[in-house]
Each structure stands twice: as C-alpha cells, then as structure tokens.
Amino acid sequence: MAIMVTRRSVLAAGSAALAGLSLPAFAQQPRVRKFAVMVPERGTDMGWNQQGVTSARAAAKKLGIQVEVAEGLGYGDIRPIMRELVGNGANFIIAHASGYNTTAFEVGVERNVPVAVVDTPRKVVRPGLVVGYALSGHEGAYLAGILAARTTRTGTLGIVVSGEPPSWNSQSAAFAQGARSVRSDIPIRYAVIGPAAFSDAPGGRRVAEAVIAAGADTIFGQGNGATMGMLQGITTSKATDGGPVNLIDVIGDKTNVAQGRLLSSVLWDPTETFVSMIQDVNAGTFGSRPYTIGLANGSVRLMKTPGISDALWGELEKNRERILKGDLKLVPIVDAAQVRALMTAVAAPGA
C-alpha cells in the first residue's frame, strides 16, 4: 500500500527544540514485521526518492517482512502521516528526508516506535529508539571529481545543488577535492538553486545555464526533481568553446533521459543499510553503529559510460583501490561554509 498526499510548500527543516521532550523508560522493541519508508517526493525520480523506496522494498524482500511506502509527503508537518503508519502496523519507520529530523524524532518518542532519520548522523535522542543516519557518497564523488578534471575541455567545472543538506555537502566537497588532485587550481563554480529547492526543475535549468555561461562544460548535479531541469539546460546549451556540456549525476541512472549528456553518476544503494537497521532493532542494538554507505560494500560506485575511456577508467579504479586500502583517506565535509570555501566562485542564497 502506498500513501500519497498533495505536495505542500517546501519548508526549511523544523526548528522546534527537542530539549523539552519527555523520554519514556526503555522498553524492548518488538520484532519488526512491517516497516515504513517516508519520502518527500514521488518514488519515480531516478534519484533520492526512488532509491529510498527501491532500497526499502529490496530490504523488505530480503528479510521477508512487509513495507509500506509513504511518498509525495512534501516537507511540511509529517506527524499525522507517521501516526497513521504506526496505526497501520508499522513498528519501525525510516524518515528519508533531512527536513523530517525534528518531527520524526518527536513522533518516534511519542509512540515509542524506532525511527531512523536521514542526515542527522550524530543525533541520537535515545539509543534503541530514535537514531540518525547519514548517506554520503563522498567516496564516489571524489572519483567523479577526478573524472571531470580529466575530461573537461574548457578547464572549468560546475557544481549545481538543490540545497545544502549534509549528503549533498559531503559530495560537493569531495568532488572539488578529487578535481583538485588532478589540477590544484582548476576553477569550480558552485551554485545553489535554493535553500530547499529539491524539486525545482525550472530553477535547476536556470542555474545550470548560468554556470555553463560562466565557463563550465561539466556539471556535477545534485537535486532530485531539480536535476531534470539541469538536464534541460545542459541539453539545450553549448559550452563556451561551442561543444557539448555533460552531467555527472548522483544516486540513480538517468541514461534514458539524458540524451547522451550523462558522463557518469555516483550511484547509491542503501539496501544493506536499511537491512542493518532492521536487524539491529530486532537484536536490541539499534543505534549502536553508524548507518551509511560507501565503496567498500558496493553501496556507492561510479557508473562507467561510453564517454569514459578504458585508460581513464583504469586511473579511477586505481584511486578507488587507494581509498579502499586506506592509502587515501577522505573525511566527509558536511558544513556548508567549509564546502563554499573550496570553490572558486559561489552563487548561493546568503553567500
């Protein structure tokens, strides 16, 4: 069963303080027989929302349990939907949007139901009950930065993001670091569509076109539905040298809609992350370890396309091995100010 609601206006993450919450005494959680995943947009975007839904369904199949998908929830007050999901029998909830961090915590505590909330990696209201998790594809983004620096013709790269949540920030920073490992002074133009413009396709097109006009011939795009707008700008624009502009995408594979402009994608698959969460709830150890993704188990990987030569792919694979062996250590940078400091030029709200 899927729950759909009309999209609400995009709001910033809730600002209500958690300090006043009264935490119930610990009780052993029942075994998860049915869980729910909540996403702000439709699960057909070939990106964040679709991968969250797809991975939740794959985790449910692997564990032999039920999953209820609540999609298209927007970024407003999700408390009523969460309570409905609990009433429908879900005894574990994955709140798969950074804007849900406050309200999801509150309902988890209120109903004494284990909840995992994305983009709050260090926040644990209560071990075993409400836990934050982080999905960071920064290792793959570092490789994407090398790819972009090796293939650019104009010598200028662009990063266009639909907001600055931790997941996007860590990838933007790693992309810049990867590109700078090839050429330390390579110009990187960074632009934010809006503070929470994840589904803003017109904004994605407008900002992508501005970055292209500023010299970028390769854009690292991060933006759910906004990425479709970026693709429109990329496929209808020429770089300043008169040649084509390419996109390096994240999370999913948009080959079928990219009209030959998809150079690569930093692919994610958090299926095993979700499996680990549920197994830990069942074992009474939920929150005892970090829940993330990475190159080591294949939950993050760089997609090979015909636009990447075998020689260049070999270089990327060597760097991948360096990361896996620990010879190249990448520390995620999630602070927006630190990300912007890595860029040559910044066009962002409040910048």
128 & 185 share domain: no
Prediction pTM value: 0.89
Please report whether residue 233 resides in a domain: yes
Please report whether residue 287 resides in a domain: no
Chosen domain end from 96, 118, 133:
133
CB count, 10 Å around CB of 221? 28
324 & 238 share domain: yes
91 & 29 share domain: yes
32 & 51 share domain: yes
Across the beta sheet with 34-38, the strand order is: 2-4, 66-71, 34-38, 93-95, 115-118, 130-133, 124-126
Phi and psi based region of residue 129 (left: phi greater than 0; alpha: psi -120 to 50; beta: remaining): alpha
Q: Which helix (H) or strand (E) holds 38?
A: strand 34-38
Domain count, the chain: 2
Provide the pairing of β-strand 66-71 with 34-38: parallel
| Rounded distance between C-alpha atoms, residue 199 and residue 229, angstroms | 9
What is the full per-residue pLDDT of the chain (351 aa) written as tens digits? 444 443 332 223 333 333 334 333 334 678 999 999 999 999 999 999 999 999 999 999 999 999 999 999 998 899 999 999 999 999 999 999 988 988 888 899 999 999 999 987 555 556 789 999 989 999 999 999 999 999 999 999 999 999 999 999 999 999 999 999 999 999 999 999 999 899 999 999 999 999 999 999 999 999 989 999 999 999 999 999 999 999 999 999 999 999 999 999 999 999 999 999 999 999 999 988 999 999 999 999 999 999 999 999 999 999 999 999 999 999 999 999 999 999 999 997 755
Reading the block at residue 293, the tokens are: 């993704």
Structural domain containing residue 338:
138-269+298-347
Reading the block at residue 39, the tokens are: 């996403």
185 & 320 share domain: yes
175 & 254 share domain: yes
